[in-house]
Chains A and B, each alone.
Chain A
Amino acid sequence: MQVETDHVFKALAHPTRRAIFEGLTRDGEQTVHALTRRAGISQPAVSKHLVILKRAKLVRHRHEGRETHYSARPQALAPLVDWMTLYGAFWRDKFDRLENLLERMDP
């Protein structure tokens, strides 16, 4: 799990990869050609980014004829959500709400 978490964080640390992932999340499945046109960089560069996104399981691909189609797997963001839950404001916010409730309860 830790390795997966590392992969997800690394994959999303690059603006081009974030843009590819966001594009796939927003607009659905796309071919490598379409992704290359959008990214404005060479196809080998896009392919390299896709390998890193694939390693993090953030995208999956399928072959159809001579084209490779990519789609997003937003559920792979799970380690990120977990990390935020663990280190973020989640419990502090809940403590605030608990205190608020205690104020309203009978002694």
Chain B
Amino acid sequence: MNDSSESRTVVVEREMPHSQEKIWRALTEGKLIEEWLMSNDFQPVVGHRFTFRAAPAPGWNGVIESEVLVVEPPVRLAYSWGTLGVGSVVTWTLTPTAGGTHLRMEQSGFGPDQEANYKGAKYGWNKFIGNLERVVGGMD
């Protein structure tokens, strides 16, 4: 975990006794995603904008604004994750192992003040920053 304020990252990884293809389906089919994550209108298409919806809580409408950034079946999947005025990127990496698949989730977070120099070139953030600003603007 990186403790610099500019780029916070959380990584969760686990070895699973399932094939890459099967895990890929669970990560990319809307109905299956809903079973373990949240209701959504995800499509495995780069540039597709969608929302995850959780139960609203005090001070939070439960909506996560996302855009698909990377679709490389069955190896890598990434989408933006914008909520509560804070944007981040969730990247899934599936690596085959002897007993199944090593699944790695990395969420990299950043604040609206820092996004310009945060992986900016890599994911073409300009569009996303616009989204983020709308989310922030809609919060008050």
Residues of A within 8 A of B (CB): 1-2, 5, 74-79, 81-82, 86-87, 91-92, 94-95, 97-102, 105, 107
Contact = CB atoms under 8 A, between A and B. Distances in A.
Contacts of A105: 22, 25-26, 32
A87 to B, nearest CB: 6
Nearest to B12: A91
B-side interface mostly:
mixed
B31 to A, nearest CB: 11
Contact of A97 (B35, B88, B111): B35
Interface string B92-132: 00000000000101010101111000000000000000000
Interface stretch (B41-49, B69-77, B79-87): B79-87
Contact of A94 (B8, B22, B37): B37
7 contacts: A78-B59, A78-B60, A82-B84, A86-B8, A86-B88, A98-B37, A102-B16
B91 interface: no
Contacts of A98: 23, 26, 36-37, 103
A59 to B, nearest CB: 13
A-side interface mostly:
helix
B107 A99 contact: no
Contacts of A95: 12, 14, 103, 105
B37 A97 contact: yes
Contacts of A107: 18-19, 22
Contact of A75 (B25, B111, B112, B140): B140
B139 to A, nearest CB: 6
B58 interface: yes
Contacts of A1: 85-86, 111-114
B5 A2 contact: yes
Nearest to B105: A91
A94 B36 CA distance: 6
A97 B59 CA distance: 26
Contacts of A87: 1, 10
